[in-house]
Structure 1
């Protein structure tokens, strides 16, 4: 992935929480592991955006990424996009089923959509898989 200075919804950018890099457990003897970062993004059309939150995850070979920036530099296959955990279009919510989780998601997604296309506080944006222009 690479970082862009401005937002273009057509480039399918992500804003990343650079402090959220996590490693999933891996089988002993393997030379790779699953890593992920929390992310938020907009999809849809520029006139009707949808705010999404979730994770970006992929397998990274050893050595382990030093930090989120290293993870993003080594994350080159974006064909599957992010794992969406919640989505808000201004009228309808899709995602979690537990009321507490829904409230947490909407507390983040509603202001995100209201401030479209600004990068939400606590996130670094915009990152994309698309080739550099």
Structure 2
């Protein structure tokens, strides 16, 4: 991924929580592992944006990335984008079914959409493929 300071919805950028970087336990017989980080992003048109929350994840070969920035710099296949866990369009929510998770998502997505296209506190952006 490439980090940019300027937000352009057409480039489909992500803001990433660098502190959420994690990886799966690597099978000793394999030279790769799953890596992931939590992210938020906007989709839709400039006039009608939608705020999304979810995860960026991919498989990366050895050597393992040292941190979240190294993970993002080595994450080059953006075919599938982020795994959306919740989204808010200003009127309707789509995503989780558990009330406590819905509340967490909306606590992030409502102010995010209201301050479009600002990066939410605690996130680093903008990252794009």
TM-score range, shorter chain: over 0.9
Give the secondary-structure state (helix, strand or coil) at the position aligned to 2:39: strand
The reply on whether 1:26 has 2:36 as its aligned counterpart is no
Aligned positions, number: 129
Q: Structure 2: 5+ residue runs without aligned partners? A: none
Which residue number in structure 2 is paired with residue 47 of structure 1?
47
Q: Helix, strand or coil for the counterpart of 1:15?
A: strand
Shift of 1:27: 2.6
* Root-mean-square deviation (Å): 0.7
The DSSP-based 3-state class of the residue aligned with 1:102 is helix
Equivalent residue for 1:107? 107
Give the 3-state SS of the residue equivalent to 1:19 in structure 2: helix
Q: What residue in structure 1 maps to residue 7 of structure 2?
A: 7
Q: CA deviation at 1:63?
A: 1.1
What is the distance in 2 between the residues matched to 1:117 and 1:89?
14
Give the alignment of 1:1-133 within 5 angstroms.
1-129=1-129
TM-score normalised by length of structure 1: 0.95
Q: Show CA shifts across 1:90-122 (max 9, x none).
A: 000000000011000000000000000000000
Q: Distance in 2 between matches of 1:42 and 1:30?
A: 35
- What is the CA distance between 1:28 and its match in structure 2? 2.8
Counterpart secondary structure, 1:119: coil
